[in-house]
Amino acid sequence: MPADRKIDYIELPARDLLLAKAFYNSVFGWQFVDYGPEYCAFNDGRLDGGFYKANLNATTANGSVLVVLYADDLEAVLARVREGGGCIVKDIFSFPGGRRFQFADPNGNELAVWSEH
C-alpha cells in the first residue's frame, strides 16, 4: 500500500528502453515489466518507477532532480557502472555523512550512488 505523503514512483526518459533495462538490471539488479513499446516499469526491490521513451535525459546541468541510490560497497558499484556502459560524471568524493559518485547511464540520465562507508 502506498505511504501517505512519501515518494511513490519515479519516471526517467530513455531513448533506448532495451539499453536502460539491460544496464539497470546488470548493474543494480532491477526487475522490469513492459507496458508497450514506449514504457517499462521497474522495481529496485523497494521502490517502483519507470522509463518512458523520449529523446531527452535527466541531468543536473539541465535542472533535473538527482536520484541518489545507496550501496554498501561504493567502489564495486562504480566498477559495475563502468562495466555496464555508464559514464562517471563525478568520481567518488566525500561529504558530511559519507561518500558518493555521480554517473550518466547509457541513455544520458544522471544519477548518484552514495555510501556511509
- Please report the domains of the chain, with CATH numbers, ordered by start residue: 9-115 (3.10.180.10)
Handedness of CA 115, 60, 49, 13 (dihedral sign): negative
pLDDT at 41: 98
pLDDT number for residue 116:
96
From CA 71, how far away is CA 74, in angstroms rounded?
6
Supply the pLDDT for residue 20: 98
Cα–Cα dist 51/43, whole Å: 11
- pLDDT the model gives residue 2: 83
Residue segments in the chain with a per-residue pLDDT below the cut of 50: none
- Please state the pTM of the whole predicted model: 0.95
34-50 burial, b at 16+ Cβ within 10 Å, e below that, comes to eeeeeebebeeeeeebb
